[in-house]
Structure 1
């Protein structure tokens, strides 16, 4: 990147996982209390494993993704996200990252692999505070704070070697660009970090660091007056980056009384103006001018991460995001980068990734104004293609799992991905239409048998003890499930008598000492009522062979009271055999 090449990047939040890919849910599940909030409803409990009556999972999100819940470690989902971002003229993702042992690193490496294929950039929004939390001791021996500083230096070298040495790494005139979210090292500790001699990969220069813009505000006569506050960080950084507009209006006694603080559309524009003018004061030391755009904000789904108070910026039917983008477009001659906050933070509802409630609205806004900002032509023809490709990928996966040859289809889908990435939308549409017709014929070769098993049932042995309810499938049904690909779900009722959690476990052949997978992790709400439950089960995670450990195929643990258990299976076959 250089000064004549304007860029649009988006913050990439995670991790979000699925049982079928990862065996866990990540941020799709969350429970907690906004400890510093004073509003009435400040506690949440989202059980992402549970399927609600509307057919959607009970995820920690105020809006639901159009793809359903997906894993950010799924290459097909990453491909969908990158191609969709490129269709909206987004140049790259800045992954919220901690350190190489943290699970964010697995996510980073997976995204980089797909980004390389599609000429997409990857940067780092360093959650530097994670280095200084106590839980880093789970991965490293820590004797004092200096050990954490030294680990930080090792992490920086790791990023230089493994992220910025790659073609996809975000750089400016050869300088790696690293955002620092804050809360980690002190200013003096960071000076010590910068003084270290690092091995700079060939072709790169010293990294440049950017801190989150310290913008505060006060309400005077119903107007928020913002100020870019000078801190010692601004003296040692190469610049600041715009983030979520500061919320300083009090929610109590207003229509926003579900939140402690809020901002309105006009505030978000004033925030950007303060950010823009504030950076001018540091033009001799700041290397790049970075603005931001956010679609809104609502951190109730994560209860402010079980820590702080609740705050809000209304989306206002897309007006908030559009007004921030308008400001950036009008002032484009004075801005190098627009940073979108964010691509996918569903827990704080400032994602622009398409959802059921908002559709593609924010992506279309991004495409329109990013084109203006960069001085290129608008083209929305590719916006729907990444989802179609993603859907086709999943259909081909199913064919593979039921034993059909899929290499030729995968090759065609790979070619379509390249077409979409390069903006060859007309050709991609024609190829998609062709393979849809082809796959429709092949999918007809798949047979589906539906099996429903209610308890009590002669084919299932059940018994209870202090560990919970154990279920063993007799060999007839168990072999049928082992020998075929299946998907299904368990419906049941459980007595919600406290705030404890219980697990539903299943046998697995994965290399684990305990030989079980977690089907669901459900935290109760203490309603003292029987509640309905419904969770998915997958061939990938459960093999129905209790002889591996001799105890069970399915276990409802923690002595939870359950009744009216029914298993529903869709068993897939191949009519060619």
Structure 2
């Protein structure tokens, strides 16, 4: 009898607890379900060449900048993005228009959009154009935007490395911020070592962190680079621009190709220079058309490479394939001022990253680029809705874990 009463007692308690919990849940205020997170999954592809893309983190809008003005890279000297044409596009210093419109490089929604597009096109990582640590010109802004970018790279499952602009060292000295150009470079390199090089997704080649230099332009002797690198615990795998490694001497591990006039320079690099280098990084580009003269930003570069309906990119990717490269740099993701962008534009749509996807041999041939753009558009449209943002967070998590069908379904449910 006691056993029966005990069981009955516990049974009643269990029912009471269950009802209480249910009642408690029913009365709790509606709040968005926390998104399920997933580790990033690498995209499957057949091309073993590591594909990196050169990235400019230097764009500002009138909402993001301290002075509430559009940044120079959208305006140059004479363009005003506050002027909106009949076609709905802002006036910017470029012959081409980003599909998502002009943006702030530190905007998390923009970064999410860029990195997901890269991932699904088969790009392995980002080579970030970097202007050092000194508060000169817009360098601090570039550094801050860079670190917003880096914060999301790991979540998406992409690598990165720094492309150091050593020209900044002279500007740091001229501004009274550094005592010498080598001292400025040492400060910048120490920062990289302490904040970037040890990241698990920082690109390593031959076991050492990869560092590219856009030049050298100021530090033009091996002795200067030896002096700069002597302060580092681990000397990086250091690549200069093509035909410039002599200026770094034994400090240079190799060179990377760039864009110039026509493809004969690439052919020469692959045929004559690459065999002599320990590390060689090729290049591919869709065209080159700078806006400097029209934008009042100085003299034009003096030559143009027409896109030729995608034929220029086809040719440079074909040259890269035939060169059997270990590393390829796409030039560039978003240099709108020079017209070299792979980023989707009004003019070219997704055609350039579709070509990269084919080159990479991405196995998932499903169309996802428009859905990634839709994710961005909804981020902006629904910025005031916590519920919608949680769903979009979940869609992002599906995308990075290679579950695009689930991501699309969730995106399409948001009205």
In which range does the TM-score fall when normalised by the shorter chain? 0.7 to 0.9
Q: What is the aligned partner in structure 2 of residue 345 from structure 1?
A: 335
Measured at CA, do residues 96 and 280 of structure 1 come closer, stay the same or move farther in structure 2, by a change above 3 Å? closer
Q: What is the aligned partner in structure 1 of residue 237 from structure 2?
A: 208
Q: What is the aligned partner in structure 1 of residue 69 from structure 2?
A: 24
Aligned partner of residue 304 in structure 2, secondary structure:
strand
Matched, 1:277 2:271: yes
Q: What is the aligned partner in structure 1 of residue 310 from structure 2?
A: 318
Q: Which has the higher strand share?
A: 1
CA distance in 2: counterparts of 1:307 and 1:157, whole angstroms: 35
Which of 366, 372, 378 aligns to 1:386? It is 372
Render the CA deviation track for 1:177-220: whole Å, top value 9, x for unaligned.
0110011212145333345232x4xxxx4311101103xxxxxx
Which of 281, 296, 301 aligns to 1:290? It is 281
| Runs of at least 5 residues in structure 2 that lack an aligned partner in the other structure | 1-46
Matched, 1:74 2:119: no
Measured at CA, do residues 427 and 176 of structure 1 come closer, stay the same or move farther in structure 2, by a change above 3 Å? same
The number of equivalent residue pairs is 359
Is contact 2:220–2:248 with CA below 8 Å preserved after alignment? no
Q: What is the aligned partner in structure 1 of residue 126 from structure 2?
A: 93
Render the CA deviation track for 1:541-565: whole Å, top value 9, x for unaligned.
xxxxxxxxxxxxxxxxxxxxxxxxx
Question: Aligned-pair distance for 1:130?
Answer: 1.4
Matched, 1:413 2:392: yes
Matched, 1:64 2:97: yes
Q: What is the aligned partner in structure 1 of residue 219 from structure 2?
A: 185
Question: Aligned-pair distance for 1:300?
Answer: 2.6
Question: Aligned-pair distance for 1:301?
Answer: 4.3
Aligned partner of residue 319 in structure 1, secondary structure:
helix
Q: What is the aligned partner in structure 1 of residue 144 from structure 2?
A: 106
Q: What is the aligned partner in structure 1 of residue 360 from structure 2?
A: 370
CA distance in 2: counterparts of 1:191 and 1:331, whole angstroms: 30
Q: What is the aligned partner in structure 2 of residue 328 from structure 1?
A: 320
Matched, 1:239 2:239: no
Q: What is the aligned partner in structure 1 of residue 168 from structure 2?
A: 130
| Runs of at least 5 residues in structure 1 that lack an aligned partner in the other structure | 32-44, 215-228, 248-262, 401-405, 441-577
Is contact 2:398–2:404 with CA below 8 Å preserved after alignment? yes
Question: Aligned-pair distance for 1:232?
Answer: 4.1
Is contact 1:89–1:366 with CA below 8 Å preserved after alignment? yes
Is contact 2:290–2:304 with CA below 8 Å preserved after alignment? yes
Render the CA deviation track for 1:282-304: whole Å, top value 9, x for unaligned.
24xx2x22110010001134669
Measured at CA, do residues 24 and 415 of structure 1 come closer, stay the same or move farther in structure 2, by a change above 3 Å? same
If the length of structure 2 is used for normalisation, what is the TM-score? 0.81
CA distance in 2: counterparts of 1:380 and 1:279, whole angstroms: 38
Q: What is the aligned partner in structure 1 of residue 9 from structure 2?
A: none
Q: Root-mean-square deviation (CA), in Å?
A: 2.2
Which of 39, 44, 51 aligns to 1:8? It is 51
Measured at CA, do residues 106 and 295 of structure 1 come closer, stay the same or move farther in structure 2, by a change above 3 Å? same
Is contact 1:385–1:420 with CA below 8 Å preserved after alignment? no
